[in-house]
Structure 1
Amino acid sequence: MPRRSVPLLVSAALTLAVSAVAVSTWPASPALAAGPSPFDFPGRGATVPFAEQEAVAGASNGTSTGTSRFYGQLSSEASGREAVTLDAAGEYVEFTLTQPANAVTFRYSIPDSPSGTGRDASLDVRANGTLVKSVPVTSKYSWYYGGYPFSNNPGDGSPHHFYDEARTLFGTTYAAGTKIRLQVSSTAQSPSFTIDVADFENVPAPIGKPSGAIDVVADYGADPTGARDSTAQFQAAVNASSGRVVYVPQGNYTLYSHVIVDRVTLAGAGPWYTVLGGRHPTQRNLAAGIYGKYVSEGGPSQNVTVRDLAVIGDIRERVDADQVNAFGGAMSNSVIDNVWMQHTKVGAWMDGPMDRFTIRNSRILDQTADGVNFHIGVTNSSVTNTFVRNTGDDGLAMWAENVPNVGNSFTRNTVVAPILANNIVSYGGRDITISDNVVSDTVTNGGGLHVANRYPGVNGPTAVAGTWTLARNTLLRAGNSDYNWQFGVGAIWFDALNGPITGAAITITDTDILDSSYAALHWIEGQSSGITLSNINIQGAGTYALQVQAPSQVTFNNVRASGIAQPNPIHNCVGSGFQITRTGTNTGWYTDTPYCGPWPAPQWGNTTTPPTTPPTTPPVSGNLALNRPVTATGQADVYAPGNAVDGNANTYWESPNNAWPQSLTVDLGAARSVSRIMLKLPPAAAWATRTQTLSVLGSSDGSSFSTVKSSAGYTFNPSSGNTATVSFTATTQRYLRLTFTGNTGWPAGQVSEFEVYTS
C-alpha cells in the first residue's frame, strides 16, 4: 500500500553506518524474554517444507546484534529481533540439521556500498567442516533510505530494509545431525555478514513433463540458460496451448516483459529448478511477470493455473506506477500453486474485478512493496498455506478501492517481518475471513492484524461491512511504532479514518497476542462498533493491553491478559466514548480509571515464561484438508493433486492411466483427531456411476504409514451427488493417504474433493 506522505521523523541515533553494520545506539532496554519462533504453533500458520533455525540459537564465534525493536536498527528487522554478525575471516554460524536436507535458504544482511548501488560478496557453506560451495550474497535488493517512496541514496539518511535471502542446493543430501556452517572466508568484499535464520529442506527431484504438454524449449525455442529474452517464445506457447499444459523445463529464463495468460496451465519442474526472471535493459518499467488480462483488455482471464516454478526478479527500487510484480492483472477461477516469488515489487498485485482466485502453498520473499494485494473488486478469493517474509509494505493485503471486495480470505499463512505497515490487513471489504495465521515481528507503521476504512476509495459501499471472522490467529511480537505518529501501533488495530466502521459484525475469537511490541489492542481515528472479542489470550505487551484513541463499542468475552508493561492497562483519552461490555471471565486488562497522558517508552520481555498457545484454544473444525498441502504419486495432464483440496467439486485430481496403485496424500499441518473422510467427484451427470477401490493410511511424520481403513470399494453415483463417505475409528494423524487400486469407470484414481473431518 502507498504510505502516508508525511516527512520521515526519525532520530539521527537510528542511522546506521553504510560502510559497516553498526551496533545499536539506543539506550539499553530490558532483555527480551526468550520466546518462540513463528513455527512453534502447531495447526496455525503455513505448513512449510523447511525446518527453520535461528542464528542466535546456533553455535557461533560471531557477535550478537543485540535486541531491539526500534525502526532503523539491524536487530529490529530480524526474526526474533536478534541476529549474529560475522566480521572476520573464519567466523561462522553453525547449525545442526534436525532432518535430512539438500538445500538451504538463509536470511542475511551485508553493508551497502557508499554510493547505494550495492555490493557483492560470497559466504561459504560447509558440511562437517568440508566446503560445499561459496554462495553469492548482495546488498542490491536491500538498503533503502529516506521517506516513502524511499530511495537508494545513502545521503537521504534513515536506512532500513537491511535483509535479503539467498538459496542454494548442496548437490547431495545430508543426514540429520550434520553440522552446516555459514562461514566467512574473507572480508575483502564486505566488512561484515549478519545472519538471521537458515531454512533447511530436502528439495524433491525435478518434476517431469506431463504427457501431451507443450514444451517451451523443445517446441518454441525458449532459452533455459537465460542468455536471451524468451518472452516471445513463452507467449507463443501460451497462445497455442488450446487446453494443453505449457511445461517450462528446468532452467533460468529471462523475460523482458509480462507473459499474458488465459485458459492455460503453466507448469514448471519445481520452484528450485524452473526460474523466471529478468528486466528490460533500457525500459526499466518492464520486467518478468505472469499477468492476467485486465478488464479494460477484455479480462479477467479465466481458468489459469501456474504451478511449480519461481519468479525471481531484479527489482531494486520502489516505483508504485511500475507493473513489475511477479503476478498481476485479473484472473478468475484461477490458481497459483507452489510458486516462489522474490525480488519483485509485489508478489501478486491483482487488479479486479475478478472472482475465485487462489494463491496456495507458495513463498513470497524480499519484495519492495506488498506480498499480495487484492485490489479493486476481488471476490471469493484467497491466500492460503503461504509463507511471506521481508516485504517492503503490507504482507497480505486487500484494498477495496472504489469497487467492493467480497468474500475473500487469508488462511493458514505465516507472515514474518513486514518492513513497513501490517502483517495482514483488509482496507474495507465485506464478509472477510482472516483465520489460522501466524504473524510476527512487525517493524514499523503497522500491526499484526488491521481492520480499516482507510486509503482512497474505501468508504460507503466499499467500506468494512458484513460478517468479518478473525479466528485462531497467533500474533507474536506484533505491532510497532509509527514514525509519523510518534507512538505505538497495536498488535490488532482498527482505523475508521474514511468513515465509521458500523453495520459490520467483526468477531475475533480464539486468538493469542504474544509479546506485543506496544499495545495488544488499538482503536484510532473515526468510530467503530460491532466488535466482539472472545477467548483472547494476551501475554506480554510493551505498553498497554488497550490503546484507545477513538470512540468505539466493543464486547469482551473471556479476554485474559498478563505481562502488561504499564501498571494501568488501558490508555484512553476519549472517556465514555469507548463503551465496554464484559461477559464471561476477563482478567488483567480492565480498569475503571484508564490513563490519559504522555506516551511511555515501551518495555519488552514482560512475560515470566515463554508465551505459549493456551490449551483452551479449541481445535480447527470443518474440513481439515481444505487448501492443505497435497501430493500424489502421479497425475494425468492438468488434473493436479491440488484440485482435490481446493473446495471446488468441478476440478479434480486424476492419476496416470493403468498404473496401479496410485496414492493421494494430504498434510493436515498438525496431528489431528480424525474419523471421517468424504470423497467427491464432479457432480455433472456426464460422470457415469463408478466404484473406486481404495484404502486409507495415516502417518505422524509423512514417511512411515499405517493402515487406518482397509481396502474397500466405494460407489460414486451422480444421482446422489457423486460422493462417498469413509468412516473409521477416531485416530490421531497428521498425514492421510488414499491408495487406489481400481476404478470401474476409468483406469485411474479420481478425486475432486478429499475432505477430512473430526467426526
Structure 2
Amino acid sequence: MNIKFRCIALILFFSVLTSLAQENPGAAIPWTTYEAEHMATNGTIMGPAYKPYLVETESSGQQCVKLNTKGQYVEFNAISSANSMVIRYSLPDSKDGKGLSSTIGIYKNGNLIQQVTVSSHYTWLYGKYPFTNDPSAGVPRHFYDEIRVKDLKIGKGDHIRIQRDDRTVDAAGYCIIDLVDLENIATPVKMPDNALSITDKSFRENDTTDDYTNAFRNCINKAVETGKTVWIPVGTYKITDNITLPPNIIVQGAGMWYTELVGDAELYKNANKRVRLIGNGSNIHLSDFAITGKLNYRSDQEDNDGITGSFGTNSTISNIWIEHTKVGMWIENSQNLKITGCRMRNTIADGINFCVGMSQSIIENCTARGTGDDCFAIWPTVFHKQMFSPGHNLIIHCTAQLPFLANGIAVYGGDSNQVKDCVCTDISQGSAILISTTFPTENKDKTVNNNFSGTTVIDSCYIKTSGGFDHEWDWRAAVELCVDKRNISGVSISNLIIENSLSNAISVIAKNEPDKVGELSNTTIKSVTVKSYGIGVNGKHGLFISADAHGSLTVIQSKVDGIKNESGNFTIVQ
C-alpha cells in the first residue's frame, strides 16, 4: 500500500475504534477537569449566578474562585498522573480595552514548578453585536481565556496549587480561576516515511526570520510534485499569510501539543496576514497540530481565519487544536469530510460551521469551549455557489461548553441532518440545541431553497445548565425550535436528558410577519426526560409554546412537567 494512503487508512481505522469504544454521549475526553469552586482556597468563591453579563454566568457550573491578592490560591489533589495542564482564568480589562497581565504560579507538593504569565488581551467584548473592545460600551461578555502548559510531571495524589504570584509589571487587580484540566499527553508523533519537513533549508530559501509562511508553501508545492507528505515537526512556526491546500495533500504535525502554527500579533489587524489554511480540493488530510491566532475583536466583514475553504470529497481533519482565531473551522462545499478529535478553544465566533454545500460529512469526537458563537453549526446558506446538495451531515459524540454567545449545537436547515450522542453543558448565552430558520438558506431568485427537509434528528444527547439569555431573543430554552418566518418540517427529538435548565427546558417560539408565518409540522419528542428547569429565571416551563407559534408537536413517552401552550394556533399531541 502507498505510504500516504496507509497513513490515511490508519487515521480512519483509529477513528472507527474510538467510535465503537464510546457508549456514553459526548466526546471521549482524555483530560480530567478540576472545578475551582470544589478546590481548597483562601480566595472568594463566586456564584452561582445566571443573569447576563456576569463572569459567574460564563463560568463552568456558574461558579468560580476570585483570587483578590497576591498569594491567594486554589489547590487540589491530582486523581491521576498528568504531564500537561490547562488553566481557565479571567482577569480584569484595562481602561483602554487592551488588557492587563498577571502571573500564576504552579506548585506541586509545596514546591514551585513553573510560573506563567496570563493576560486579558484576548478577552472582554462590549456593547451590541458584533461588539467592541471599548469598555465604555458596557454590557461586557467574553471574560475567560485559557493557558496551556506542558512538560510537567504530576503523579497521582500530588498536591497541586494554582497561586496568584504577581510581579511588579502585573497590573491586574484580581485573577479568577474557573477550572483546571490535567492531561497525560502522548509523546510527539514521529516524522513519517516519505515526508518533507517545512524546516528543510531548501524550503527556507535563505530566509533567516522566524516566518515560515513561504517555507510552508514551498514544502506543499514540492509535496504535490513528489507525492510526499508535508511534515511539521515539534516547534512553533509563525504564519503570516494564507496557506492554500491543493488536492491530494497530507499535512502532518507532531501533535496538537507539540506543533503550533502561530500568528504575528503585530500583523493580525490586517485580515490578509492571519493564520488561515484554505482547502482547495479533494482528498486533503490534516492532522496533529495547533493553530493559535492573535485575534481579539470581531468583524463579520473580514474573512475567517483558522481552517476554511472547500475540501471537495473524501478529506479528513483530525486532532487539531485551534484557538484565538475568528472561527475554528468554516467549511464549504465538501462531501464525505470527516473531522475527528479536534479542539476549538476561545474563538471570536463559531467553533466548527458546516456552511455552503456541505453533504454527508461528519464532526465526531470534537470539543468546543469558550467560542464566540455556535460551538457546532450546520448552516446551508447560499452566498456562494453550492457544489453539493446540502444535507445528511452528522454531528456525533461531540461536547459543547461555555460559548460566550449563541448556542451549543445549531441546525439552520438542510436535508436530514443529524445530531447524536452529544453533550452540551453550561450554554448560558443561548440554547444547548437550536433548530432555527433565522438565517437565510434561499438565494434571491428562489431557485435554491435549503430550508429543512427530510427528517432532522436530535438523538441521545445530555444537556445540563443550558438555555440562557440571548441578547436578541431574551431567554432561550435548553432545546429550542425557532420558527422564524419560515416553516420547519420533519424533526425527531428523542432520548434526551435535560437537566437544570436555566430557563425553559424545551420551547417552540416564532417570529412572524404579516405575509411570513412559519409553521412547525411533523415534529416528535419521544423518550425525553426533563429533570429540572427555571433555575436561572422564574416563571419558566418544561415545555413552552409561545403565543405566535403555529403548527403542532407530538410528545410520546416523555417525562416533561410544566407544559405551557400560549398559542391558539398550535396543538400539542400527547
TM-score if structure 1 supplies the norm length? 0.67
User: What is the aligned partner in structure 2 of residue 495 from structure 1?
Assistant: 482
> 2:275 touches 2:293 (CA, 8 Å); kept in 1?
yes
Q: Where do 1:227-306 residues align within 5 Å?
A: 228-242=210-224, 243-262=227-246, 263-279=248-264, 281-282=266-267, 284-286=270-272, 287-293=274-280, 301-306=281-286
User: What is the aligned partner in structure 1 of residue 417 from structure 2?
Assistant: 432
* C-alpha separation in 1, matches of 2:305 and 2:394: 21
Q: CA deviation at 1:281?
A: 4.0
> 1:213 touches 1:245 (CA, 8 Å); kept in 2?
yes
Q: CA deviation at 1:228?
A: 2.5
8, 14, 28: which is aligned to 1:47? Answer: 28
* Equivalent AA in structure 1 for residue 37 of structure 2: V
92, 97, 100: which is aligned to 1:111? Answer: 92
Q: CA deviation at 1:221?
A: 4.3
Q: CA deviation at 1:227?
A: 5.1
Q: CA deviation at 1:434?
A: 0.1
Per-residue CA deviation, residues 505-527 of structure 1 (Å, 9 max, x unaligned), is x1111110111111111111132
Q: CA deviation at 1:163?
A: 0.2
439, 442, 449: which is aligned to 1:455? Answer: 439
Q: Tell me the SS of whatever aligns to 1:508.
A: strand
* C-alpha separation in 2, matches of 1:73 and 1:222: 48
Per-residue CA deviation, residues 41-93 of structure 1 (Å, 9 max, x unaligned), is 97110002211111111111110112111110110000110000101121111
* C-alpha separation in 1, matches of 2:156 and 2:453: 50
The answer to whether the aligner puts 1:56 opposite 2:41 as a matched pair is: no
User: Residues 314 and 387 (structure 1 numbering): CA distance in 2 closer, same or farther, change over 3 Å?
Assistant: same
Q: CA deviation at 1:201?
A: 0.6
Q: Tell me the SS of whatever aligns to 2:526.
A: strand
The answer to whether the aligner puts 1:366 opposite 2:346 as a matched pair is: yes
TM-score if structure 2 supplies the norm length? 0.88
> 1:207 touches 1:269 (CA, 8 Å); kept in 2?
yes
415, 420, 435: which is aligned to 2:405? Answer: 420
534, 537, 541: which is aligned to 2:526? Answer: 534
The answer to whether the aligner puts 1:184 opposite 2:169 as a matched pair is: no
User: Residues 220 and 365 (structure 1 numbering): CA distance in 2 closer, same or farther, change over 3 Å?
Assistant: farther
Q: CA deviation at 1:218?
A: 2.1
> 1:362 touches 1:387 (CA, 8 Å); kept in 2?
yes
Q: CA deviation at 1:483?
A: 2.8
The answer to whether the aligner puts 1:409 opposite 2:408 as a matched pair is: no
> 1:226 touches 1:254 (CA, 8 Å); kept in 2?
no
> 1:227 touches 1:254 (CA, 8 Å); kept in 2?
no
Per-residue CA deviation, residues 290-311 of structure 1 (Å, 9 max, x unaligned), is 1112xxxxxxx11111111000
* C-alpha separation in 2, matches of 1:152 and 1:429: 35
Q: Which runs of 5+ in 1 are unaligned?
A: 1-40, 294-300, 563-568, 583-759
* Equivalent AA in structure 1 for residue 572 of structure 2: I
Q: Where do 1:557-568 residues align within 5 Å?
A: 557-561=556-560
* Equivalent AA in structure 1 for residue 533 of structure 2: A
> 2:203 touches 2:214 (CA, 8 Å); kept in 1?
no
* C-alpha separation in 1, matches of 2:46 and 2:520: 41
* C-alpha separation in 1, matches of 2:229 and 2:44: 51
User: What is the aligned partner in structure 2 of residue 218 from structure 1?
Assistant: 200
Q: Tell me the SS of whatever aligns to 1:461.
A: coil
User: What is the aligned partner in structure 2 of residue 734 from structure 1?
Assistant: none
* C-alpha separation in 2, matches of 1:102 and 1:411: 29
Per-residue CA deviation, residues 395-437 of structure 1 (Å, 9 max, x unaligned), is 1011111355211111100100111111001111111110000
Q: Tell me the SS of whatever aligns to 2:449.
A: helix
The answer to whether the aligner puts 1:140 opposite 2:121 as a matched pair is: yes
Per-residue CA deviation, residues 699-743 of structure 1 (Å, 9 max, x unaligned), is xxxxxxxxxxxxxxxxxxxxxxxxxxxxxxxxxxxxxxxxxxxxx
* C-alpha separation in 2, matches of 1:474 and 1:280: 39
Q: Tell me the SS of whatever aligns to 1:470.
A: strand
User: Residues 264 and 280 (structure 1 numbering): CA distance in 2 closer, same or farther, change over 3 Å?
Assistant: farther
* C-alpha separation in 2, matches of 1:95 and 1:331: 44
User: Residues 195 and 226 (structure 1 numbering): CA distance in 2 closer, same or farther, change over 3 Å?
Assistant: farther
Deviates more, 1:188-197 or 1:104-113: 188-197
> 1:88 touches 1:187 (CA, 8 Å); kept in 2?
no
How many residues are treated as equivalent by the alignment?
521
User: Residues 559 and 218 (structure 1 numbering): CA distance in 2 closer, same or farther, change over 3 Å?
Assistant: same
User: What is the aligned partner in structure 1 of residue 365 from structure 2?
Assistant: 385
User: What is the aligned partner in structure 2 of residue 644 from structure 1?
Assistant: none
The answer to whether the aligner puts 1:548 opposite 2:545 as a matched pair is: yes
Q: Tell me the SS of whatever aligns to 2:427.
A: coil
Q: Tell me the SS of whatever aligns to 1:302.
A: coil
User: Residues 109 and 328 (structure 1 numbering): CA distance in 2 closer, same or farther, change over 3 Å?
Assistant: same
The answer to whether the aligner puts 1:152 opposite 2:133 as a matched pair is: yes
* C-alpha separation in 1, matches of 2:249 and 2:335: 17
> 1:452 touches 1:464 (CA, 8 Å); kept in 2?
no
> 1:399 touches 1:405 (CA, 8 Å); kept in 2?
no
Q: CA deviation at 1:573?
A: 2.2
User: What is the aligned partner in structure 1 of residue 571 from structure 2?
Assistant: 579
* C-alpha separation in 1, matches of 2:461 and 2:442: 25
* C-alpha separation in 2, matches of 1:260 and 1:417: 32
Per-residue CA deviation, residues 128-155 of structure 1 (Å, 9 max, x unaligned), is 1111111121101110011111010011
* Equivalent AA in structure 1 for residue 560 of structure 2: A
User: Residues 182 and 222 (structure 1 numbering): CA distance in 2 closer, same or farther, change over 3 Å?
Assistant: farther
* C-alpha separation in 2, matches of 1:389 and 1:316: 16
The answer to whether the aligner puts 1:195 opposite 2:177 as a matched pair is: yes
Q: Tell me the SS of whatever aligns to 2:37.
A: helix
Q: Tell me the SS of whatever aligns to 2:500.
A: strand
* C-alpha separation in 1, matches of 2:209 and 2:50: 43
Q: Which runs of 5+ in 2 are unaligned?
A: 1-21, 511-517, 535-539
> 1:370 touches 1:392 (CA, 8 Å); kept in 2?
yes
* Equivalent AA in structure 2 for residue 558 of structure 1: Q
Q: CA deviation at 1:365?
A: 0.3
The answer to whether the aligner puts 1:570 opposite 2:555 as a matched pair is: no
Q: Report % sequence identity.
A: 30
User: Residues 140 and 56 (structure 1 numbering): CA distance in 2 closer, same or farther, change over 3 Å?
Assistant: same
Q: CA deviation at 1:187?
A: 6.9
* C-alpha separation in 1, matches of 2:142 and 2:260: 24
Q: CA deviation at 1:110?
A: 0.5
Q: CA deviation at 1:219?
A: 5.0
Q: Tell me the SS of whatever aligns to 2:377.
A: strand
The answer to whether the aligner puts 1:395 opposite 2:387 as a matched pair is: no
> 1:141 touches 1:343 (CA, 8 Å); kept in 2?
yes
Of structures 1 and 2, the larger Rg is shown by: 1
* Equivalent AA in structure 2 for residue 538 of structure 1: V
Q: Tell me the SS of whatever aligns to 1:114.
A: coil
Per-residue CA deviation, residues 205-231 of structure 1 (Å, 9 max, x unaligned), is 1111111210110254459x9953211
* C-alpha separation in 2, matches of 1:220 and 1:112: 45
User: What is the aligned partner in structure 1 of residue 16 from structure 2?
Assistant: none
* C-alpha separation in 2, matches of 1:458 and 1:470: 24
Q: Tell me the SS of whatever aligns to 1:85.
A: strand
User: What is the aligned partner in structure 1 of residue 11 from structure 2?
Assistant: none
Q: CA deviation at 1:114?
A: 1.0
* C-alpha separation in 2, matches of 1:115 and 1:317: 14
User: What is the aligned partner in structure 2 of residue 471 from structure 1?
Assistant: 459
Q: CA deviation at 1:538?
A: 0.3
> 2:496 touches 2:529 (CA, 8 Å); kept in 1?
yes
